Structure 1
Amino acid sequence: MTIQSILGAIVIGAVIGAIGRLLIPGRQAIGWILTIVVGIVAALVGTLIAQAIGVENTSGPDWIELVLQVVLAVVGVGLVAGLRRSRSRGGKI
């Protein structure tokens, strides 16, 4: 990996994570650093899924890949926020 690809992953992860976080209603109990990490993971996994189903390289923008990444970010942010919320309450519902 080059420094450019690492910086690109961070920037894309930040954008994907922020979009995922904005699509969830209400406040999330996670910080921006964790949001970026979730976004990076969602971007990487979304790209792997797009490659597996053969839609990673299309003419024009890769909308299917982007939608996969954002959906994974929404799920990831929701899961992490839910886990952090339940831990802060001591596991009580």
Structure 2
Amino acid sequence: MTIGGLVAAAVLGAAIGALGRLVVPGRETMPAWLLMAAGVVAAFGGTGLVHLFSLGDGGWNLWEALFQILLSVAAVVLVAAFWPKRTGRDP
């Protein structure tokens, strides 16, 4: 993977993570870097599922976008469930 591919994955991951976060109700408790990481994983996972099921033919694909957003929602829900909640006071 090239540097451009890594940058594109980070940007796409941030966008996919933000879309996943918009779908999940409740307060934001996870940091932005973790949201972006969940989005990057979801973006790669969604692309992998599309290739696994042979649903894509290259270029932009609706199935790929749907899989990426659904995986991002699942990742955000899982991370939010296990990430420590902020209490508003110092330990």
Normalised to the residue count of structure 1, the TM-score between the two structures is: 0.85
Name the structure with the higher helix share: 1
For residues 47-93 of structure 1, give each alpha carbon's deviation from its aligned partner in whole angstroms, at most 9, with x where no partner exists.
000000011226x730111000000000000100111147x79xxxx
1:74 alignment counterpart: 73
Q: Indicate the residue corresponding to 1:64 in structure 2.
A: 63
TM (norm. structure 2) is 0.87
Equivalenced residue count is 87
Structure 1 gaps of 5+ residues are: none
Q: Any unmatched runs of 5+ in structure 2?
A: none
Fraction of identical pairs, as percent? 37
> Offset of 1:28 from its aligned partner?
3.1
Q: Which moved more, 1:21-30 or 1:43-52?
A: 21-30
- Give the RMSD, CA atoms, in angstroms: 1.8
CA drift at 1:27 = 1.1
Q: Which amino acid aligns with 2:40?
A: I
Structure 1 consecutive aligned stretches of length 4 or more whose deviation exceeds 6 Å = none
